[in-house]
Chain A
Amino acid sequence: DSGVTQTPKHLITATGQRVTLRCSPRSGDLSVYWYQQSLDQGLQFLIQYYNGEERAKGNILERFSAQQFPDLHSELNLSSLELGDSALYFCASSSRTSGKPDTQYFGPGTRLTVL
């Protein structure tokens, strides 16, 4: 158990809908990262937050957004869903933001299926 929790574990929805994925980082970790894992793209970084502020953006679509709340949990919002958004979404947390070889601890993921 990494200490990172993600809910829900599975999500099935229809095209055009909006969903929210939730992540609680390990106790004391200030950084939260979101990654998408799909068969064709592999593991891709989406976005990073540190102590409530956005720090880096990767290949995140404009239909996707995220935020980190004062209690440090984070939510990833996916809207106007398309079939191609079906993937495993991981959250990871670490204690630092950059420049140091700290470890990112991954949650179990949320499997999103868009029908």
Chain B
Amino acid sequence: AQSVTQLGSHVSVSEGALVLLRCNYSSSVPPYLFWYVQYPNQGLQLLLKYTSAATLVKGINGFEAEFKKSETSFHLTKPSAHMSDAAEYFCAVKDQGGKLIFGQGTELSVKP
């Protein structure tokens, strides 16, 4: 069975600092991986997705993620945090049936 683990339910960074949100997956087949962001009182918005074309994936709003098979990781990074990045971030793996299996989420706080 596929699963996703997000390390750290809360991450706090200062504005301008590096953002690193961790995601590890478990999958017996090559995974399709996604990062979604959820702003307060809103739905989930896709940030980026890994589809095996390239290990470094660039997404919206300056975010990127690197797929590392040897570490079974798909960590999300952004070089410089903005106040507007404060939100909850979800890593997900798509199972063979098509549904998404989500991690527990990481709430990102950005301090001025």
The answer on A and B forming one complex is yes
- A residues whose Cβ falls under 8 Å from a Cβ of B: 2, 4, 31, 33, 35, 42-45, 48, 55-56, 58, 90, 92, 94, 96-99, 101, 103-109
Q: Name the contact of B43 in the complex, choosing from A2, A31, A45, A56 (C-beta under 8 A).
A: A2
**Given A55-B98, A98-B96, A98-B98, is A103 in contact with B46 using a C-beta cutoff of 8 Å?**
yes
CA distance A94 to B102 in the complex (A): 17
B-side binding surface: helix, strand, loop or mixed?
A: strand
Q: How many B residues touch the partner, as a band?
A: 20 to 34
B43 x A107 contact (CB < 8 A)? yes
B99 x A101 contact (CB < 8 A)? no
Q: Name the contact of A104 in the complex, choosing from B42, B52, B100, B105 (C-beta under 8 A).
A: B100
A106 x B97 contact (CB < 8 A)? no
A56 x B44 contact (CB < 8 A)? no
CA distance A42 to B96 in the complex (A): 21
CA distance A48 to B94 in the complex (A): 13
A106 x B36 contact (CB < 8 A)? yes
In the complex, which residues of chain B have a beta carbon less than 8 angstroms from the beta carbon of A90? Answer: 43-44
**Given A45-B99, A97-B98, A99-B96, is A105 in contact with B90 using a C-beta cutoff of 8 Å?**
no
- A53 CB to closest chain B CB (Å) equals 13
